[in-house]
Amino acid sequence: MGRRGGAWAAAGVGLLLGGCMIGPSFQLPQAPLAQRWSEAVGDSVDTTRQDYREWWDVFGDRVLSRLVETAYQQNLTLQMAGVRVLEARAQLGLAIGELYPQEQQISGEVSYNRIPVSIPYNIINSNYWQGLVGAQAAWEIDLWGKIRREVQSADYAFLASVADYDDVLVTLTADVASAYVQLRTLEKRLAIARENVERQKFAVRIADSRFRGGVVSKLDVYQAENVLGATEAAIPALTIELEETKNGLAVLLGIPPDQIEAHLTVSADIPEAPPQVAVGIPAELLRRRPDIRAAELDAAAQCSQIGVAKADLLPAFTLLGNVGTLATDVGRGDLGDLFSAKSLSYSAGPAVQWNILNYGQITNNVRIQDARFQELLASYQNTVLAAQEEVENGITVFSQSRIQADRLAYSAKAAAGAVRIAMNQYKEGTADFTTVLTAEENLYTAQDNLAVARGNIPLGLIATYRALGGGWQIREGNDFVPAATREEMAERTNWGEWLSPELLSPETPGLPGPEDAGSVVRPPEW
């Protein structure tokens, strides 16, 4: 349909949609928001407004940045979310089509018929041909705004699908960063375990040498081997955890597990977090966190469904029309008259339908829709509360892990000194071997705990940025599905221009927002 034809059609729809909009209009409930973050104290927290578009760059780790980019391009869960955006956009087009004649058909039929000779009026010919051509149309006038509410609901649902996509992207970037930090932390813990194994093997050799020299009993050897075996046993457990982390990271990147090593060619230490985390203020969460936006839009879409249900309580007015021709070769008739004026027949007129005696079904459906709406309002408020909890927890982990790591660094340094002194005293015979073993166990524990605490610092920062809703901004201006997927879908199905990011963008001109759905008449989307 051309632009001019679409404009005339839209104008016609506007004349027929001059009624009210039944049902409540959505109003965002009051969100339970804190005035400030309770953990935003000290030098480790910055409450100024920040840009969280590529927050992972604060670590200055090129490997991490490449992993996030790879996941954005190849993660299959994100691709599924992108296709759901296309689905929601098609559902919106389906709803818009209901604004126009809901039934329009062109039909034609040619049949050869035989009338039983036993019928009294069959006095001419029992066999004859019949042909008919016709067109029918039915247009329910949206007097109460039922169809416009459906469009409004589909509008909100489409925007909610975009918010869901953004939420998947937030989770994906944070999961990739967390897996990477855990991987580097496990590598560090493995290196510490192996280093301590070598140190403890040396202690076993000394104990065994002194035993063979008759200086000490076999007890020292057994005790040394016991400590060594316990440390060696930690290596397989850490290796299992490391391999599981690598395999999980491979899934996030959308690659088979045997290809993950190619993405980790550069050996690196645990990523260093900056001294401060930028958290802004709680009120900024309402627009930045995609899951909060999605919860709001889900509630708005359901609010429109209340009006859809209420419209069934009122009469429905429809314009009906049909036109066609009918011809037979019975008697003086000729099948060739099918396209002549004398075979023309038509009818047109209004119709009304009112559902009565429905035994409370419609009323109870309205109640169902209202209850679902109220549930989603509570879900929205709960999502806001949960978001603040996650931010507070992330800040706590980040700041307290930094303090913990500082204390453990002193502890590990002291433990290393204790091992040196204890070993020297043992060699000199001024200390028993229990002192050496205790010092070695303390050293391994302190070093391992320090590595865990060092890893918890960036993990706390990642959790905070995830809770703040950062990272989804990297999709702005990009397609919701990869180029290969677009080509595959376009080859299989006529998607028109919908696979382009311009049409799918919620800010696209010609795609009014949900607040305009009741007043703006849209042309059908072919």
Same domain (yes/no): 111, 203: no
Same domain (yes/no): 374, 332: no
Any domain includes 449: yes
Any domain includes 17: no
Compute the distance between CA of residue 303 and CA of residue 292 in angstroms, rounded to an integer. Answer: 17
Any domain includes 61: yes
Any domain includes 417: yes
Residue 122 DSSP code: -
**Contact, 424 vs 434, CB < 8 A?**
no
Q: What is the CATH number of the domain that holds 243?
A: 1.20.1600.10
Residue 2 DSSP code: -
Tell me what pLDDT residue 521 has.
60
Tell me what pLDDT residue 128 has.
79
Compute the distance between CA of residue 297 and CA of residue 412 in angstroms, rounded to an integer. Answer: 52
Same domain (yes/no): 121, 225: no
Tell me what pLDDT residue 509 has.
39
Tell me what pLDDT residue 508 has.
45
Same domain (yes/no): 188, 52: yes
Residue 470 DSSP code: -
- 267-296 in b/e form (b: 16+ CB < 10 A) is eeebbebeeebbbbebebbbebbbbbbbbb
Show which of 334, 353, 372 is a domain's final residue.
Answer: 353
Residue 414 DSSP code: H
Tell me what pLDDT residue 504 has.
58
Compute the distance between CA of residue 437 and CA of residue 224 in angstroms, rounded to an integer. Answer: 7
Same domain (yes/no): 424, 304: yes
User: Burial of 485 by CB count in 10 Å (0-12 exposed, 13-18 middle, 19+ buried)?
Assistant: middle
> How would you classify the pairing of strands 103-114 and 127-141?
antiparallel
Any domain includes 25: no
Same domain (yes/no): 213, 236: yes
Any domain includes 1: no
**Contact, 152 vs 302, CB < 8 A?**
no
The pair of three-digit structure tokens given for residue 308, joined into one six-digit string: 């859809």
Same domain (yes/no): 347, 380: no
> What is the overall mean pLDDT for the chain?
85
**Contact, 105 vs 136, CB < 8 A?**
yes
Tell me what pLDDT residue 516 has.
54
User: How many C-alpha atoms does 170 have within 13 Å on its Cβ side?
Assistant: 22
Number of domains in the chain: 2
Ranges of the chain whose pLDDT falls below 50? 1-3, 5, 7-8, 10-13, 15, 17-18, 507-511, 518-519
Which residue in this structure is represented by tokens 């993990």? 459
Tell me what pLDDT residue 47 has.
72
Any domain includes 194: yes
Q: Which domain holds residue 88?
A: 30-99+142-315+354-516
**Contact, 324 vs 133, CB < 8 A?**
yes
Residue-wise pLDDT for 453-468, tens only, equals 999 999 999 999 999 8
* 25 phi and psi angles, rounded to 5 deg: -90, 140
Q: What is the CATH number of the domain that holds 332?
A: 2.20.200
Same domain (yes/no): 272, 243: yes
Show which of 330, 353, 376 is a domain's final residue.
Answer: 353
HEC assignment per residue over 42-77: CCCEECCCCCCCCHHHHHCCHHHHHHHHHHHHHCHH
Same domain (yes/no): 113, 48: no
Any domain includes 8: no
Alpha carbon 104 to its chain's center: 38
Same domain (yes/no): 180, 74: yes
